Amino acid sequence: MLYSPGCQSASETRIRARFSTGSAIQYRKGSFMVNIFRKLRRSEPSTTAASKGPAQETSPVVESGKPRTLFIGHTRFSVHQHGSGYFNATRDADAGAGFTEDEYTSWLYSETRLAPRTEIFTTLSLPQLALAARDHDVVHFVSYSPSLPAHHQQALKEAAQKHPFLRLNETTKPVNSTPSRKLVEQALAERDLGSRPFGVYRLDDDDLLSVRYFDQMAPYVTPRHVGWWVSLGTGFSAIRVDGKYAYTRELYYPKSAFGPMAIAAVDQDGEIENLSAPKHTVMDKFNPTILDSREPAYFHIRHESQDSTVKGSIAPFYPEAMSRILGEGPADLTQAAELFPVLDGLAAHEPGAPESGVTLSAAPLSLSREAVTFDWPHEGPLSLVLIPAEGGRVNSNQVQVRLTVTETSEDEETSKFFAQGRFRHSERDGTYWTYMPHKTSGFGHVLPIEPPKGVSVSKITLITSRKDQVDLDSVTAYPLPARRV
């Protein structure tokens, strides 16, 4: 059951008229209208964002004496649970990666995987949570295994000293995404909550919640909603590129894993109601579910060490990650900075570091059956961006992109890797080719290109597949970091 508030106050129906100025890339007319529609379909919640001042320890009671709403959160921080069915990396070969326990441990605790997660969680996610928690009573548990490398345990302990709402839970047992009954009871024992309801939420270690997350959730934490779940469906997503965030998009993902919350309470028998967490994608099949997508509530970071990218063998990361977040169009970077101040200046629209863009053609260019070829001197993955001329577009199966690579003959593993990124091998000339995506990103057509390790792209050729001409304003490519995992 999906539920949204049936009425709104006048202040909640003001129309948002702010537009992003955070990117040098110009929007096209069609995307401009889509952006306007996206803004018109949401009413603006009346409460303003929290300040960027230092976060204080949360308290059950505000100065007026009115109790604050209690929220109990949980993060699984690389808990060692080989053999469980929770993740691709922990499942057998029929359903996941098929790692042995030694292989799983090596993957789970590799520095290339853990270092970015620790950085994201301790320097972005927790400071962001502290800002959101200012006017609420928040307890956030972090579960980890004793086998977590010592310097990452130390980073968590230092974070707990800095953020009084943070509680560490070292455990040898598998854990769920939401806090266990024991942890919830521990938080409740410190408060005289009685039968008042409270929220129980999930936060993954590489996601961020808006500074207004608890403000958005608090109105639903009422006695009539005990036993319900809440999903905030709209947010942002981006690709992590060398510590910054590229290709920042608005994302609409109802019933996602990005901050879902259960509304719980202690019943007359002393039992805690609504602690069982169903799979997030089907939560509404088990509990009535409130869906509120009026304002972005999360920032989902895509990076190469995510469990969803683990296939049991090395596969392209950028094509899969960028296709997943193409979604609703470019993010409003001004709004993103207001709701996620820890990311101010770190997020961009471009599908790569903005300063790294290589202009292959700055002058208007007409594509036809006569091939146009550009040299590409950089190693590793890249994003290719075509900007059509005013009023123009790239249609489906219209523009072929052909890659000349360092290998002179077809290699089966190379072809298999390129095929996963939707490139085919041409026996005629030895190139790998695909069609330029016809769906615009909001600032042009974007094609992520990722060669396998040891293979480099040396030339990029554009050619139309039909006789009609395609007019372009510019062609730009962005080098991307090579895979490390």
Range 388-409 average pLDDT: 89
User: With 50 as the cut, is the pLDDT of residue 19 above it?
Assistant: no
In the chain, domain spans: 70-343, 355-479
Which of these ranges, 90-99, 123-132, 244-253, has the smallest mean pLDDT? 90-99
pLDDT for res 67 = 83
pLDDT for res 385 = 98
Query: Could you report the per-residue pLDDT of 62-96, keeping only the tens digit for each?
Result: 555 678 999 999 999 999 987 655 555 554 555 44
User: With 70 as the cut, is the pLDDT of residue 149 above it?
Assistant: yes
pLDDT for res 18 = 32
pLDDT for res 49 = 40
In 348-421, which ranges are continuous DSSP H helix?
Answer: 412-420
pLDDT for res 165 = 98
pLDDT for res 471 = 96
Per-residue pLDDT band at 299 (split at 50, 70, 90): very high
User: With 80 as the cut, is the pLDDT of residue 33 above it?
Assistant: no
pLDDT for res 101 = 86
Single pTM value for the model: 0.84
User: With 70 as the cut, is the pLDDT of residue 40 above it?
Assistant: no
Asked if 335 and 19 count as a contact pair (C-beta separation under 8 A), the reply is no
**Domain 70-343 belongs in CATH node 3.30.70:** no
State the Cα torsion 358-364-370-371 to the nearest 10°: 0
432-435 sheet: strands from edge to edge:
372-375, 457-464, 399-405, 432-435, 424-425
Per-residue pLDDT band at 188 (split at 50, 70, 90): very high
Query: Could you report the per-residue pLDDT of 201-222, keeping only the tens digit for each?
Result: 999 999 999 999 999 999 999 9
Which of these ranges, 47-61, 103-117, 175-189, 437-451, has the smallest mean pLDDT? 47-61
Q: What is the DSSP letter of 16?
A: P
Mean pLDDT of the chain: 85
Which of helix, strand or coil describes residue 137?
strand
Per-residue pLDDT band at 52 (split at 50, 70, 90): very low
Query: Could you report the per-residue pLDDT of 301-349, keeping only the tens digit for each?
Result: 999 876 654 555 678 999 999 998 987 899 999 999 999 999 999 999 9
Query: Could you report the per-residue pLDDT of 238-249, keeping only the tens digit for each?
Result: 999 999 999 999
Residue indicated by tokens 């961009």: 348
Asked if 322 and 384 count as a contact pair (C-beta separation under 8 A), the reply is no
Strand boundaries in 77-152, DSSP class E: 137-144
pLDDT for res 412 = 84
pLDDT for res 8 = 38
**Residue 310, C-beta contacts closer than 8 angstroms, at least 6 positions apart:** 87, 88, 89, 96, 97, 107
CATH class of 355-479: mainly beta
pLDDT for res 398 = 96
Asked if 482 and 380 count as a contact pair (C-beta separation under 8 A), the reply is yes
pLDDT for res 159 = 98
Asked if 93 and 160 count as a contact pair (C-beta separation under 8 A), the reply is no
Query: Could you report the per-residue pLDDT of 414-436, keeping only the tens digit for each?
Result: 999 999 999 999 999 999 999 99
Query: Could you report the per-residue pLDDT of 132-148, keeping only the tens digit for each?
Result: 999 999 999 999 999 99
